[in-house]
Amino acid sequence: MFVIGITGGIGSGKTSVADIFRSKGVRVLDADEISREVTGPGGAALPEICELFGKKSIDSDHSMNRKFIASLVFSNRKKLDLLSKTVHKYVLQKIAAELGLEREKGAKLIVLDVPIPVKKGFADICNQIWVISADESIRMDRLIARGMDADDARRRMDMQMTREEYEEMADIVIVNDNGKEDLLACVEKNIVEQLHERGIRI
């Protein structure tokens, strides 16, 4: 089974690339979606989050209090790192379990959509890492177009790795500065070059 890890900074377009694979019938494991699951009502990460950040970190519906947690972590790198480490542990456990099931089914290709590319549990289980990269000003424009406040967008971008740090860990870099058609053409080109030669047709 061939595992492609897709990553990149917020606003770079990694979800658009993951959606291209979905449209071709490829199973995509979305780390953000799994993160919402493990921090949602009754989620596996909640007891540890409560222990670390106090009772206010859990909402009345027994899910993580996202507003409270955001107020703590997006201005404090240490607290963000602590939250990320905790949630990632449960996300990566779920990813590992899902990969095991897909391997048993005989799947030829699985895509991981992961915004924060940790080495253990992501980089070390991927056959290739595709980094989706875009100019910072373009990313900012996209986030504002989504309805995000400019200051909030800047804070979130600053908390992530730099464009150069993402690209350093890439096997494939896909630059997404020029719109959907250009992005699709670039992804299709890499699918032919990287997958067809390995006997994987999608």
Give the rounded percent of residues in the chain with a pLDDT score beyond 90: 84
Under 8 Å between Cβ of 65 and 40: no
Give the rounded percent of residues in the chain with a pLDDT score beyond 70: 100
- At residue 66, the pLDDT reads 94
Under 8 Å between Cβ of 174 and 17: yes
Is pLDDT of 171 > 90? yes
Residue pLDDT, tens place only, 34-67 = 999 999 999 999 999 999 999 999 999 999 999 9
Is pLDDT of 119 > 90? no
Q: Average pLDDT in the 122-129 region? A: 92
- Ordered domains of the chain (ranges, CATH): 2-197 (3.40.50.300)
165: Cα separation from own chain's centroid? 15
- At residue 56, the pLDDT reads 95
Residue pLDDT, tens place only, 68-114 = 999 998 788 899 889 989 999 999 999 999 999 999 999 999 999 99
Which pTM value belongs to this model?
Answer: 0.87
- At residue 79, the pLDDT reads 92
Mean pLDDT of the chain: 93
Is pLDDT of 159 > 90? no
Separation of alpha carbons 99 and 2, rounded Å: 11
SS (H, E, C) 25-44: CCEEEEHHHHHHHHHCCCCC
